[in-house]
Every structure is written in structure tokens, then in C-alpha cells.
Amino acid sequence: MSAPDPVQSDRRYMRLALALGRRHLGQAWPNPSVGAVLVGGPPGAERILAQGVTQPGGRPHAERVALAAAGEAARGATLYVTLEPCSHHGRTSPCADATIAAGVARVVSAMDDPDPRVAGRGHARLAQAGIAVSVGLLGAEAARDQRGHVTRILQGRPAVFLKLARTADGFAAGGEGRLMISGPRANAEIHLQRAHCDAIMVGVGTVLADDPALTVRLPGMAARSPLRIVLDPCLRTPPTAGLVRTSATVPTLILAGPQGSMEAADALSAAGAEVQRVPVTAEGRIDLPAALRFLGARGLTRVCSEGGPTLADALARENLVDECLLVTGDCVLGQPGLPAVGPNLAARLASADFAVAEEYRVGTDLFTCHVRSP
Ligand SMILES: [Zn+2]
């Protein structure tokens, strides 16, 4: 029997760590959702000692979860982790210190953490303690998973994921009705992706046209519904709207301009929504870069825009789109309608900044994911 390929097994354990980290995307903010796997035993006869993922609300961190589960067995083990272990003292001591104290012999890490409180110091601390450290395995996959965290740290705003459904001839339908373009399996996939975002954002036009719930409607996943955000410069959202009435269960944040009346704000607050004022443009629209900086300051890392073609194109004009998922159904509108992809978005997607990361079928729908290079 030939000796096992260490690189192959490293990749396998890192893939597992990445899958673990993805589980809590949408739940760990303001912290990144990280995966960690502890592996012990001699090469060829290794076994998984423990696994961890950053817990909802961002603590404890993945490494802590895995180290606690492994206990004494962590001595001499290898830690696979999808992001650099932290080195700064927060509410608990740093994960790098906990890893050293547990006697871990080797750390395989997918990427550096750009957080200025860490930024290489976690890896350096491990190496100084005599731990064998290697950085960068499956780094591109990790960076895509950590796009929200990295964008918030480096740009002060959450990453923006657009979702647009279109007919086979390229037209959008209205609001959540747009999902009717898609088949039931595609809708389930869209709801699953919603659960992995920190917030879903729409414009007030979508609320007025469709009164959408914007929740995760999958069995057992109702508690995974993210924050709902409405961009509503003049406060036209009715207090009777579904996403206002249900805000005790799933919070709703309305971003208004200074021109929205105090009375409207009070009525929405009384109905359970949170109203915040953000800057507007000269035309009276929500200033998108300012609104996203506001959301970044609140700790949001991953915002999904389901607001339809108009909001999508406005985000593209400001170069605020990080990923764009186009869901193309098999039905045809057969007459001129509102194009799902507006001129600004079309230009961005055609530029060298974007590439198609994946394309796959879900039931009768084609999912095409355009990703901006980091
Ligand atoms: Zn940590």
C-alpha cells in the first residue's frame, strides 16, 4: 500500500472545516463564521478528534468549540481552521493562546484575517510557540466564504449579494411574485441561501407592490430568518405591511431619509419596526454607499438584495455588488417587460471584474452566479 498523500488528506480536512464554517454564515455576525477540525493520530491512521463552528452571535469561536470537545486529546494534534486564529483579547483570551495551551502540534489555516487586531499576529504567535503553521490551503474558497467579513473589515460595509429571477426571455416579474417565475425546488434553494445572509434588503417599491414576508420558509429553519431591511426614503411603508406586523418574531429595519415624516416613523416604530435615518442623494433616494456603511457599523457582514431590478441596478452603478445570482426560469413573458438585468449591472457583469463562479440547474431553473474578483 502506498503512503497516504499528506496534501490530499490536508485538503480533505480543510474541506470539512469549510463546510462547517458555512453552516453558520448568517448567524455569526458581527464575527466571521469559521470552521475548525482537530485531527490526531499518525499519518495514514489519523482520525477526527473534534469539530467546531463559530456559534450564533459570534462566540465562542470555532477553535474554542473544537478544543473544548477534544480536551486532552488535542495534544500533538493538527488543527485545520478556515481563518487565522484570533490573537487579540476580547471577552475571552485569544484562540491562538488556547491552541498553544492545548498542545496542538500543527495548524493548517486557509487565510490570514485582515482584521487589524489580528492581521498575521495569530499565525505568528502560533509559530513562535513552536507550532508548525501553514497558511493558504483552499484559500480562494475560504476567501469567498469570508467575503462578508473581509469587506466589512476593509471597506466598512457588508458584502452585497444580488438575487434576481428572470424569465427565459430576460424579464423580471414583480417583488416576491418574481419567485413565481422559479419552480418549487429553486424557491427552496433561494430560501436556503437567504438563511446564510445576515440581512435581506429591498426597496419600498417591493413592499408596496408585493407585501413580501422575506422570511426563510423551510421546515425547521424559520429561526434562521435574517434581519429584513427596507430602503424607504419617504417612509411610505404601511404599518400594516407583513414585514412590519411580524417584526416581533423577525426584526425589520427601515432606513429612511430626513424627509420621512416623524408621524410615519412613530407609527412604524409603534408597530414594531426600527426606523433609522440615513443620508439621501440630491434626488431624494437613499444614498446607498452611506446606507451600507451604516449597516457595516452595525456589524452586518452579508446583505442579500432581493429588491428587484431597480435597486440591483442602482447598487451596480455605485459598484456595490460583490456577487450576483441570476435565476433563469423556463417560462417566457413573450412581451416587452422590465429587464431583470439593467444597463449598469449588465456592464459590470460583462467587465473583467466579474466571472461566472458556477452555473447549475435546480429543477427547471438555471442558477448562474457571477462573482466579483476580490
Ligand atoms: Zn478566536
> Is residue 131 within 8 Å of 103, Cβ to Cβ?
no
Check the CA dihedral 339-341-342-343 and report its sign: negative
Distance 86 CA to ligand 1 centre (A): 4
Contact residues for 139 (Cβ-Cβ < 8 A; gap 6+): 110, 111
- Which residue ranges make up the annotated binding site for substrate? 194, 206, 214, 217, 306
242 membership: H or E segment, kind and range: helix 242-245
Distance 34 CA to ligand 1 centre (A): 9
> Is residue 33 within 8 Å of 24, Cβ to Cβ?
yes
Of the candidates 39, 106, 101, 100, the one whose C-alpha atom is nearest the C-alpha of residue 73 is 39
Q: Which amino acid is at 5?
A: D
What is the model's pLDDT at position 298?
97
Q: Is 63 a catalytic residue?
A: yes
Count of other CB atoms within 10 angstroms of residue 116:
10
Of the candidates 139, 151, 81, 142, the one whose C-alpha atom is nearest the C-alpha of residue 114 is 151
**Ion ligand 1: protein residues whose beta carbon lies under 5 Å:** 61, 86, 95
Distance 59 CA to ligand 1 centre (A): 8
Distance CA 247, CA 359 (A): 35
Contact residues for 138 (Cβ-Cβ < 8 A; gap 6+): 11, 14, 15, 18, 110
Distance 92 CA to ligand 1 centre (A): 8
Q: Which amino acid is at 295?
A: L
pLDDT in tens, 320-361: 999 999 999 888 877 777 889 999 999 999 999 999 999 999
What is the model's pLDDT at position 175?
42
Q: What is the number of helices (H) and of strands (E) in the chain?
A: 13, 14
Distance 311 CA to ligand 1 centre (A): 36
What stretches of the chain adopt beta strand conformation (E)? 35-40, 47-53, 78-81, 106-109, 132-135, 159-166, 199-203, 227-231, 252-256, 274-277, 302-305, 323-328, 354-362, 365-372
Distance 119 CA to ligand 1 centre (A): 13
What are residue 146's phi and psi, to 5 degrees?
-95, 15
Distance 64 CA to ligand 1 centre (A): 7
- Which residue ranges make up the annotated binding site? 61, 86, 95, 165, 194, 206, 210, 214, 217, 306, 308-314
What is the model's pLDDT at position 222?
76
Percent of the chain with pLDDT over 70: 95
pTM surpassing 0.85? yes
Distance CA 205, CA 207 (A): 5
DSSP state of 281: -
- Which residue ranges make up the annotated binding site for NADP(+)? 165, 210, 308-314
Question: Of residues 63, 84, 176, 323, which has the active-site annotation?
Answer: 63
All residue ranges of the chain with pLDDT < 50 are 1-2, 174-179
pLDDT in tens, 35-89: 999 999 887 788 999 999 999 999 999 999 999 999 999 999 999 999 999 998 7
Of the candidates 156, 159, 140, the one whose C-alpha atom is nearest the C-alpha of residue 148 is 159
